Amino acid sequence: MSDIYLAGGCFWGLQRLMQSLKGVSDTVCGYANGNSRQKATYESVCRGDTGFRETVKVEYDSEKISLEAILFAFFSVIDPTVKNRQGNDVGSQYQTGIYYVDDKSKETALRVAEIEKKKHHRFEVEIKPLSCFYEAEEYHQYYLDKNPRGYCHIPQEEIEKISRMVFDPAAYFKIDEKRIEKLYGPPV
């Protein structure tokens, strides 16, 4: 199993999206990468002075889903051009981010981010190593399952559409140029 930590605004909707992806085995809402030495709580994070981000820990089986697919799903539901905000949620705790735990994840996150940066005039997504993570309170875990009409900045229709996606970028490979030339002749 592998882990990636994603901050995409309010963690309720992002957790629901991630748990809907085939190959994701577990998700946990929490608070990542703050500057406080005290354990983060919802109340302390909402003050806006701790540096913590509402974050979802995503545990996945890389044999069933690639980190690329997870990150493309992530980017499809966030606005990467804004800082400290997603939807109606405003504050430093809603800053978007990708927090990695190893060099391979870092490399993948940076590569996908470069693709996404080309689509936007601004790019405000943090990409950093995970420095700390505290699990959120129990009532935040799977909140939208417990409260189906609860607020979410990610529309349920969007979550359903993305969860049905079968495209996994890691499953595709570039065909060898020599093989293409052998099959179809030299380029014109």
| Residues known to be catalytic | 10
Take residue 83 and report the two structure tokens written for it.
Answer: 């800082």
DSSP for the chain? -EEEEEE-SSHHHHHHHHHTSTTEEEEEEEEES-S-SSPP-HHHHHTS-S--EEEEEEEE-TTTS-HHHHHHHHHHHS-TT-SSEETTEESGGG--EEEESSHHHHHHHHHHHHHHHTT-S----EEEE---EEEPPGGGTTHHHH-TT---SS-HHHHHHHHT----GGG--PPPHHHHHHHH-S--
3-state secondary structure 75-113: HHHCCCCCCCEECCEECHHHCCEEEECCHHHHHHHHHHH
